[in-house]
Amino acid sequence: MGFFDKFTKSFEDEVEEAMEKIRGMGLGVEGLSASVDGKVVTIKGSAPDMDAKAKVMQFFNEMVDTENTFNMISIPAPEPKPEPEPEPEPAAEEATTTGERVYEVVHGDTLGAVAQKFYGHANAYMKIFEANRDILDNPNLIRPGQKLRIPE
């Protein structure tokens, strides 16, 4: 390529030559193309990231003198990350080998509420308290995570 070749090439040829060089740089831009309207160039394609998009424009502007260059290169939206699966709630009720039910206390529970759930009335809480005297000292003091035996 001689000194005067730049002056004998058409503007469109200059743009296409620059695009071929940029395609060969391995920037990962798919469908890279340019359209020319006078001395205004519109570059299109799909870049993997903003860095590749910016490099295409930088290299193109270094190679071709335009009146204006429109960068219409798209960047695909990232794939949404899957929502993490929620931690499973601890089993609130278990069956023991003796047929006795077990309930794991959760935040906000009272013996009255547990009795309501299993017996249909809150005033049966003393039945649960008596069955769990080995771990309970006071029927008003239960803690999340405690496993209570629920008698029949």
d(CA 113, CA 108): 9
User: Are the beta carbons of 50 and 75 closer than 8 angstroms?
Assistant: yes
Global pTM reads 0.48
pLDDT for residue 66: 92
- The span from the CA of 143 to the CA of 109, in Å, is 8
Cα–Cα distances (Å) from 144 to 84, 98, 123, in that order, read 24, 24, 21
When pLDDT is cut at 50, 70 and 90, the band that residue 85 belongs to is confident
| Range 87-114 average pLDDT | 75
**How long is the chain?**
152
23-71 pLDDT, tens per residue?
999 999 999 999 999 999 999 999 999 999 999 999 999 999 999 999 9
**Band (79; pLDDT cuts 50, 70, 90):** confident
How is residue 104 written in tokens? 């794991």
Average pLDDT, the chain: 87
145 backbone φψ class: left, alpha, beta (φ>0; ψ -120 to 50): left
**Backbone dihedral angles phi then psi of residue 97, each to the nearest 5 degrees:** -70, -20
